[in-house]
Amino acid sequence: MANNKRLQERKTREDTKNAQSELREIIRHKYLDNPFLSYEEQQKWLELVDDSVLSKGKWIEFVYDVPDPENYNYIRKISFGNIKNALKNMMIKEFAINRKNEFFYINYLGERVKINLRHFWRELYKQVEEVFSLALDEATHMSAESPKRPKRSSYEWEAQKS
């Protein structure tokens, strides 16, 4: 039965794929509509990040390109560490709670750098896709196969069987 792929499904891979889909939609919503995490999103954020990137999020660096407002041809590259930590750090006050300003400031190499939160989410969205594909491969390898059961289209009551 292990050779028939249509009759097998990989639970961890499906769970990872579902978590990635949910995280992808949240991040997309952040740069298109509202850049702040809602209370509901905050409650599930850390678990969703862990389930989406698995261990692969620790190996890819998140580099954010900040355009220099004085020289538009110059782009400063700022490293926020690995993708997993960058996603988890979205829970800090500037990202999750502050609802007044879509900009935040960081100190980077002794300079104060202004960052647009919507643009930050957009860059995170682009770079997280690479991690998602690697995490799906990892989930496939760590998944145990289990028999795929057909979904019920209707219920059959005991009285109907006779």
Judge contact between 56 and 134, C-beta under 8 A: yes
Judge contact between 152 and 6, C-beta under 8 A: no
* Lookup: tokens for 31: 């740069």
Q: For residues 154 and 91, which has the higher predicted lDDT (pLDDT)?
A: 91
pTM of the model: 0.74
Q: For residues 69 and 25, which has the higher predicted lDDT (pLDDT)?
A: 25
Judge contact between 147 and 17, C-beta under 8 A: no
User: 146, 154, 129, 153: which is closest to 15 by C-alpha?
Assistant: 146
Q: Which helix (H) or strand (E) holds 51?
A: helix 39-53
Mean pLDDT of the 5-28 span: 81
Mean pLDDT of the 61-83 span: 80
> Is 45's pLDDT higher than 80?
yes
What proportion of the chain, given as a percentage, has pLDDT over 90?
20
**Backbone angles phi and psi of 157, in degrees to 5:** -80, 150
Which DSSP category does 16 fall into?
H
